[in-house]
Amino acid sequence: MHGRKIAWWMLIAWTLILVLPAIDQQGKGSVLHPRKSVTKPMKPTLLVFCDLQCDWRLDGDVMGDIDVGGNAKSIVALGQHLVVAGTKNGIDRIKKEIEIKVVGQTDVKFALRAVRDARIKAEQTPQKNNQKDEPEVDVVPSIKLPISAVVAQGMLLEKTIPDYPAVAKAMGITGTVVLKGTISKAGFLKDLDILSGPPMLRQSALDAVKHWRYRPYLVNNEPVEAVTTINVIFSLNIK
């Protein structure tokens, strides 16, 4: 009888030794730890409003349509951005440069209705003619009037004597160089051409005449350009 009790207690002891660790392990596994909440980082966003049905663009990219009084949202990067909104017919458009400095939502509102109404009003308003009646003025035709060499000689104010070429003088060459030119409204000669004369004397005559000064030729008390001929005489008898 005594031996049975000892065997019985030994069986209970071994049972406890085998079972208690399992129960303890199971208890540890069932412990619930509180879950830590993870906060997602915020990103900068752009919220665009339109008071008319419009399409909008962000930095040149087509973003879509917005209904009347609606809005559209887009994630953007920090920095400068160009936002454009326009009516569906493409006539009325508004551009805005937006600088995103902080993380969060930035609102951009487009008042397209006011732009459209202002355009329609301007188109319907008749343009006033601001031009005043001006008196008629007799305009002198801008033509070159031909005058004789004698008339031009009487208008001469300043005259440069041409140099006699040494070779031509040594060879006894004389003659008259005939030039053609235009007396400007200011009295200067222009568009000079050589018509005739001894070849060795032509350049000397041309160099001198281009510095001559005339009194302007008047028509109805207004200066006009006059075309004339100039005779430059080379003679060995003139000292």
pLDDT tens per residue, the chain (239 residues)? 555 666 666 767 666 666 556 555 555 554 555 565 555 667 888 888 888 889 888 888 888 888 888 899 889 888 888 898 888 777 888 988 888 887 888 888 888 888 888 888 888 877 655 555 555 545 445 578 899 989 988 999 999 999 999 999 999 999 999 999 999 999 999 999 999 999 999 999 999 999 999 999 998 889 999 999 999 999 987 54
Please report the pLDDT score of residue 108 as a whole number.
86
pLDDT at 137: 47
Instruction: Quote the pLDDT of residue 160.
Output: 92
Q: Which pair of structure tokens corresponds to residue 237?
A: 């008898």
The pTM of this model reads 0.41
pLDDT at 13: 66
Q: What pLDDT is attached to residue 31?
A: 52
3-class DSSP state of 167: helix
The two beta strands, 71-75 and 156-158, are unpaired
Give the list of residues 6+ apart from residue 212 with CB closer than 8 angstroms, or none: 156, 158, 159, 160, 189, 230
Half-sphere exposure of 126 (CA within 13 A, CB side): 3
* Nearest-angstrom CA–CA distance, 7 and 80: 88
Collapsed DSSP state (helix, strand, coil) of residue 168: helix
Return d(Cα 23, Cα 29) in angstroms, integer: 10
For residue 67, the SS3 value is coil
* Beta strands, E only, 59-100: 61-66, 71-75, 79-87, 93-100
In the chain, the largest separation of any two C-alpha atoms, in whole Å, equals 183
Residue type at position 189: L
User: Nearest CA to 82 among 63, 69, 54, 67?
Assistant: 63
Structural domains of the chain ordered from first start: 45-118 (2.60.40.1120), 145-234 (3.30.2420.10)
- CA gap 113, 132 in Å, rounded: 37
- Report the DSSP beta bridge partners of residue 186: none
CA dihedral 62, 67, 71, 77 (to 10 degrees): 0
Backbone angles phi, psi at 112, to 5 degrees: -75, -25
- Cβ pair 216, 186 in contact under 8 A: yes
